[in-house]
Chains A and B, each alone.
Chain A
Amino acid sequence: MSSTDARPALTLDALRLTFHPGTPDERVALDGLNLRMNEGDFAVVIGSNGAGKSTMLNAISGALQPDSGRVLFGAQDVTDLPVHRRAGFIGRVFQDPMLGTAPALSIEENLALAQRRGLRRGFRLALGRGNRQRFADLLAPFGLGLETRMGVLAGKLSGGQRQVLALLMAAMQKPRLLLLDEHTAALDPGTAELVMQATRRIVDEGGLTTLMITHNMQHALDTGNRLLALNAGQVRLDLDAQAKAGLTIEALVQRFGASDDQLLRA
């Protein structure tokens, strides 16, 4: 499945993360979670509500600190780095379309902001250097018509338009890992499909190593080359492209004897 001597793009080593430790509300969200992502992997992550999927992504991004365990990009241990210092490695899109873009900034300003992810910010005009044209060219292939409205505030865009913008922002300055947390869940089915198409396109064209959480079983089956299932803070199932190719929704449901949300109770 993976070449033995190549370093994985991402390694999660025995991650443990507890909310409200030592109180009656104590909740172990990650329970010694291990994961290796190889360069170019596009892994879809499924699991019931509360399985620890979002917490895993938050531990990777640095938004949450694990109690123990390590997060490595290649050979570099980033476990103790704050969010802004590992931002150069990571692009991220959230479920809430409000979170992935800055509503009070224009489309082109959002892209300019993202273009410096992980880089020093100096006193050069953010929209100089032919950036305007470059950004418009970046948006044009998605057929949203945004390339002619680059000065419009991101806050004025529809949810789907914002998610595509957020995807582009996350993919700029090629991150070593793209994190997608149910980024189509807040959209109507048609728009979700459009955003999924944009996702596949961006991941393919950039050759991005990607972790995508979804509750949509169809998307889980026909996207990516790897399927991960989480339960109770651990990876319980890890299927490669071949094993995944043979799966049907019926088989998934049958195998785990559950509807979407109950998927991994078996």
Chain B
Amino acid sequence: MTVATRLRFALLVSLLVQAAAGVPGAAAAAPAYEVDRAQSSLTFVGDQQGEKFIGTIRSFRAAIRYSPSDLATSLLDVSMDLKSIDTKNSERDAALATAVWFDYAHTPVATFRSVGPLRATKDGAVADADLVIKGKSKRITFPFRWTPAAGGAALDAKVSLDRLDFGLGAGEWADDSIIGHRVDVIVHLALKPAAPSP
């Protein structure tokens, strides 16, 4: 065996070992997806005087990397433009802008970032994630379902939040019977493989 052949052989063995052990290499990172805006929705369900209302966050950006076989490099990273919230009630939308609620003047953006590796579940995975709303960060558990589809996949999730954790509607507005504390966030992302970055 020549030196060159031996080197090539060693490289091959090391690549095989890496692949078998699932050690992440730059080339093996979970594939990136981009959001199909028209087919995706980011909504929340609030409760006002015992009546449910739906808020739609119309404008958001998401960087998603996911592979069930590479959970360590999978990640979810979403930024939401809160000014784009529409609750189908102009008075309520105007109220959400004020300092008592989202305070658009100071904190118009909310972010969501997974931390550390994801954990596999029966039909998808669970991420630990930092959700930052109104400058307040909270570590949440975010289980989601992953459904491969023709030319991409769908990510579906529902998490329940307590609005007071983020200082939304504190003081006199904390009254649970007027505006419920619990808010369910419903995520439906239609994803297609991202165009490879140059």
Q: Do A and B bind each other?
A: no
Q: A interface vs B, CB < 8 Å?
A: none
